[in-house]
Structure 1
Amino acid sequence: MDLARTAAIVTGAASGLGAATATALADRGATVYGFDLRPAIDAAGDPPAGVEYVEVDVTDPAAVRTAVARAAGGAEPLRTVVNCAGIAPSQRVLGRRGGHDLDLYAKVVQVNLVGTFTVLSLAAERIAETAPDGQGQRGVIVNTASVAAYEGQVGQAAYASSKGGIVALTLPAARDLAQYGIRVMAVAPGIMGTPMMQTVSEEYRAGLAAGVPFPSRFGEPGEYARLVLAIVDNDYLNGEVVRLDGALRMPPR
């Protein structure tokens, strides 16, 4: 699918995987609407060329609907959606201080899974209204899962649940949207060099990187972005989750 002279939505676009993806899509000729929370947008400063930041909380359906309408309301057809927004707090099901905070569990699922589905469904509605290209295509939606969906570690019950939901969503969503010429894919990153990982010690980071078979390092946001571009380019990729992890299989802790 050709990105030139089309519109795209990227959630979590002000930092990390989302920022790299927004820039990559814009560099390929798309007009990108980068959804994120106000603190993240303020911290990011001026957006890259071709990217417009839009303040959106993905857990607010009304705000998402308004923002999607903005992205779809221009002269360029909305063709691409990449869901990168997410949170990853850690807490054990039962720890020294008691059981898992139920509100925290619900919040992680609400942001990572329900927020992704909200953007997917409302964007798909608008993409389906566009004219198809010569191959009958109207768009592609890429969601962000995680290797934690398969090998959740100690303390990742909430996060793994939310990302497992993304994995399970991929095929039925692709089947639901096939009649409209909309593909649905997911990427399951391993340990990535995002701002989230900058908060831990260098020693801990080195230990994580050493556990990756090859290359033994953190993944780069740009590598995620290039995979998204490859998914957009390859029209026969649909209904699948692609691991981006250097052959990593996460240990229990």
Structure 2
Amino acid sequence: MTLSNLTTDATMNASQPGSSRIGLIVPSSNTTMETELPELFRRQTAATGHTYTFHSARAALKNVTTEELLAMAAKAADCATAVSDADVDVIAYACLVAVMAQGPGAHEPAENVIRQAALDNGHPAEVTSSAGALVRTLQQLGARRVVMVAPYMEPLTQMVSDYIEGAGIEVIDTVSLGVNDNLAVGCLDPLNLPGFARNLKHEGADVIVLSACVQMPSLPAVQAVEDELGLPVITAATATTWEILQLLGHTPAIPNAGGLLAGTVASLVPRIRTDA
């Protein structure tokens, strides 16, 4: 078989039914979203047979400061145009605080900008954002009170808390790890997260947000914390994954990443919907 035939065959295979393309818009210094999401979707593939490929566009961000986050947000349309060239099925804007830095509810206009850019480029796609996915997932779970672990300096953690509260959900306790270098955030040890979660004042909480940042690794700890504390555990990454699956019309079937993605979260949340 010639090289040209191999290339043609690969292209045809990627376009066949049974495979979906996922576009990601990520900070240039992100090292986690492009590892945790593919791992989650690998587990989905193992359970369902449907395959997924990932295609990224990057926007400059080194330090998690309000100034750099707003500069990154201004590049969302250009990144959406670039990633839509791959004719992706879904685009996920994978920087939670870049959206939240624009104020409560900012995920809706941000997602519209990306949606319109892809449409104008001739490759319309479904769109989500990690900020929107986190808020909407909490709302769909019926959560009224949450606790949260975040890697940021305290002012940014407070901004995320205010954003969630702007969606009608009370944040009753937070842990702020005080890291503003985005590469350093990606090097944080997820095995420390159970200890942070254990020390949160989670009495009265409906959901634990174990990582309010797509760059802070959390996947190895999600199931362990949920099993230990008996509360639904979500992260920016698992919420984004759940919403991508919803947009594709796929039923979550991902093991060892919390009840949300295993499809069993309902067994953990009946009291959320019935408490006065």
Smaller-chain TM-score range?
0.3 to 0.5
1 or 2, which has the higher helix percentage?
A: 2
Under a length normalisation based on structure 1, what TM-score does the superposition of the two structures give? Answer: 0.45
Under a length normalisation based on structure 2, what TM-score does the superposition of the two structures give? Answer: 0.42
